[in-house]
Amino acid sequence: MDWLDQTLSGVTSHKIAYPIIVVISLIIAVCLIYLLFRFLILRPIAKSKFTAKNVRLNQLLGSKVLGSIASIVAIVLTSAILEALPKLSNNFHDLSHRVIDALLIFVIARMIVRIFRFADDYYSSLPSVNRDKAFEGYVMVGAFLIHGVAVILILAALLGKSPTYFLTGLGAMSAVLLIVFRDTLLSMFANVIVTTGDLVREGDWISVNNTDANGYVTDITLNMLKVQNFDHTITSLPTYTLLQNSFTNWRGMFDSGGRRIKRSIMLDMRSIRTLSEEELVQLEKIPLMDKALALEKQAVTGNPECAGGLLITNSGLFRQYCLTYILQHPKVHHDAMTLLVRQLQPTENGLPLELYCFATDTRWAFYEGIQAGIFDHLLSLLPVFGLRVFQSEGDFAEPDPIARKINLEPDALVSIKVRERPDQSS
């Protein structure tokens, strides 16, 4: 202390310059101690072979907890340096310690939040959990509360007041705060339910009822959820909207690897009839028809109306053909997922024949291509079975009932062959 007093004897006599030099020196000291701790201790640890093999240590370094510890060490050492400086006024000492205490509270609060995030990363990486940000909701709520407490303590330290002084004021303003921060408080606790229950993740495709949100989740914050719709607009919703309204998360569809096809062909019931033996012989020329006919014969065997012989209807045979066709389709799931062709309740718009199956490609454009290809093929074969799709009564033009008969003339089924391109050089 004597040596330091003698060294600074020429500077301490200045009442204005000396405090300014002390403040600048303390700021430089904090930065130097922090940089030395970070680059001489943390950097070698981060680049060591031991760290590269240790997942938990990598997570700890990524959470920046050690950086907060370096900041605390720098602030504590700076406070000790301040105590060692001679001939500083009591007011300057008091003000400096208030600022240092406030800064220390802020750094400790950040360190606690980073510890929470490290704990979340550690828990999320466990094999039994294996999903990102499993405790994100609790971390956000905890960070909100810790920062709130830190703000009160920092104000108390800077103003030299007891923390209860500010808590009393908050109690008197609680009713106003509940009104002003109603959405924030609701969303804060909704965020806990949404994230810990794994209801929504970033990147999920969701559609929220009674809103315009229908797209991919781009951001989940403490009180806000952002959804990028398919027209590239952004819909922002309070997080509690997900709990107040029902919503659909399509993540399960992508994870399963199958996207549902559920579409009907509306058959005109006036075109449904039984098929003659000659017509069945002609229909057997169509590929896959032998399997469809075997299924239909097995289905009608034993029915009361077939006592005098099997009665095969064109609608029943077409239904079995649809089933046979999608059973052999390479882009439809056959085993693990539901696959059926069924009739629904007849309506004034015809008899719905519904295909229910799952495409193997969940990407939107590819899925639509698979679905369209299936129905293009089936709709093109309806006249072959003597069936027609129901349309409005004004569009129903049938000049002759013969139009409902089976037509397997060579021109009815056209096979298009790809012609070889002529040699451009010739």
The three-state (H, E, C) secondary structure of the chain, written as one string: CHHHHHHCCCCCCCCCHHHHHHHHHHHHHHHHHHHHHHHHHHHHHHHCHHHHHCHHHHHHHHCCHHHHHHHHHHHHHHHHHHHHCCCCCHHHHHHHHHHHHHHHHHHHHHHHHHHHHHHHHHHHCCCCCCCCCCCHHHHHHHHHHHHHHHHHHHHHHHHCCCHHHHHHHHHHCHHHHHHHCHHHHHHHHHHHHHHHCCCCCCCCEEEECCCCCEEEEEEECCCEEEEEECCCCEEEEECCHHHHCCEEECHHHHHHCCEEEEEEEEECHHHCCECCHHHHHHHCCCCCHHHHHHHHHHHHCCCHHHCCCCCCEHHHHHHHHHHHHHHCCCCECCCCCCCEEEECCCECCEEEEEEEEEECCCCHHHHHHHHHHHHHHHHHHCHHHCCCECCCHHHCCCCCHHHHCCCCCCCCCCCCCCCCCCCCCC
Q: Is the pLDDT of residue 232 over 70?
A: yes
> Quick one: what percent of the chain has pLDDT higher than 90?
21
Residue 88 has what pLDDT? 66
Confidence of residue 424 (pLDDT cuts 50, 70, 90): very low
- Shared domain check, 344 and 317: yes
Q: Which of 134, 155, 172 is the last residue of a domain?
A: 172
| Mean pLDDT of the residues in the chain | 79
- Shared domain check, 272 and 377: yes
Confidence of residue 420 (pLDDT cuts 50, 70, 90): very low
- Shared domain check, 230 and 109: no
- Shared domain check, 69 and 113: yes
Pick from 254, 265, 217, 287: nearest CA to 367:
254
The answer to whether residues 358 and 255 touch, using CB atoms and an 8 Å cutoff, is no
Residue 417 has what pLDDT? 42
341 within a domain of the structure (yes/no): yes
190 within a domain of the structure (yes/no): no
Q: In this structure, what CATH number is given to the domain that contains residue 206?
A: 2.30.30.60
Token pair 């290809």 is found at 373
- Shared domain check, 100 and 226: no
pTM above the 0.75 mark? no
pLDDT tens per residue, range 7-22: 455 455 555 666 677 7
Pick from 253, 222, 219: nearest CA to 236:
219
- Shared domain check, 349 and 300: yes
- Shared domain check, 262 and 115: no
- Shared domain check, 289 and 214: no
189 within a domain of the structure (yes/no): no
- Among 73-77, 241-245, 264-268, 414-418, the minimum mean pLDDT is found in 414-418
- Among 111-120, 297-306, 368-377, the minimum mean pLDDT is found in 297-306
- Among 45-49, 63-67, 349-353, the minimum mean pLDDT is found in 45-49
Q: Is the pLDDT of residue 406 over 80?
A: no
185 within a domain of the structure (yes/no): no
- Shared domain check, 210 and 128: no
- Shared domain check, 142 and 52: yes
> Quick one: what percent of the chain has pLDDT higher than 70?
76
140 within a domain of the structure (yes/no): yes
Measured CA to CA, the distance from residue 23 to residue 31 in angstroms comes to 13
Average pLDDT on 377-384 reads 92
pLDDT tens per residue, range 180-231: 677 777 777 787 788 777 788 888 999 998 888 999 999 887 778 899 999 9
Domain count, the chain: 3
Residue 408 has what pLDDT? 58
28 within a domain of the structure (yes/no): yes
Query: Could you tell me the residue range of the domain that residue 67 belongs to?
Result: 2-172
- Shared domain check, 46 and 34: yes
Residue 426 has what pLDDT? 37
